[in-house]
Structure 1
Amino acid sequence: MIVTSVGRILTMARGKVQMRRIENTASRQVTFSKRRSGLLKKAYELSVLCDAEVGVIIFSQKGRLYEFSSSSEIQNTIDRYRRSSNDADTYKANMEQYLLHLKQETTDMERKIELLEVSLRKLSGQCLGSCSTDEIQMIGDQLERSLGGIRARKAQLFNDKIQQLQEKQLCLV
């Protein structure tokens, strides 16, 4: 202990306390009482200083209940905790369901992409060795339709260009 000039007594810091059970029953009870009141005081300070809703529930070794709540009743704080916990659980379940949906959708898209790639290879004349006569006939028909559409578009573009040139010719004359 150190006594200052104004008569205050300063105690030296106590060093680290080992976190283990206190064997002496009387010492354990004294420590529990002091730390309990310190914990409840800190909970009160946190609620006042930070405008936080705080709830602390303590059961002693003998089963006595000690509690603090910054709201009117600790039950309100417990109910709010349960709602928040349920919201988090619901959110987690929804996210898991959404991820499963996305995985299924990804699998479906990969399957569709593979089918489109196979179809494209067949339309370009590759991988025809495993095709039946009917499949080759269908591919041929599809190519004929595509070629007809391409020729029609080409003819339309040529006709449009001819019409533009004829209009320019009339303007020049």
Structure 2
Amino acid sequence: MPTMTVPWNLAGVPWYAWSMYYGNGSVLKKGDPVLGALLPIWEQKGEVNFRWLRGGIPERQERSWGPDTVPDPTNFKLRSEAADEVLDRLLSGFAIRQSPTIEEGLLHRDVTVPTSLQLSGWPSLGVVRFTLDGSLPTGASKMYSEPISIVDNLIVSAQLFDETG
């Protein structure tokens, strides 16, 4: 079995075309056995790591571990968006979506164009309340009812509340 090394310089290679099996010049043929995986995690707050990992792991798993896999980027995007919305709702009670999508990276989450922020939840679970100054929302905070427009610096904090607040 050949030894595979993972190249770190992936600039310009779309996820659906890149395969770790080309990392050291060896090319696996169909049916070659593959064993193992590696996932580095840097020291950060859990919520930062989690959102960052969610942004990259599904793509890597979709393609890189299956040399015989030929992914369909359009189909993957639809499945990924649906899974993210369900996961957001399971973890925090509501889904967070931006339009246009905010580029998230390991060290940044910059909004460079006017953006609309949507916080959609399941009505049966309660209501989403939010603040725009970074303070923690309370039962008296503004209730989310329409997309929040982001055109300047602000810190949105949101939380799900039941009917009792």
TM tier relative to shorter chain: under 0.3
Max radius of gyration: which structure?
1
Output the TM-score relative to the length of structure 1.
Answer: 0.21
More helix by share: 1
More strand by share: 2
Output the TM-score relative to the length of structure 2.
Answer: 0.22
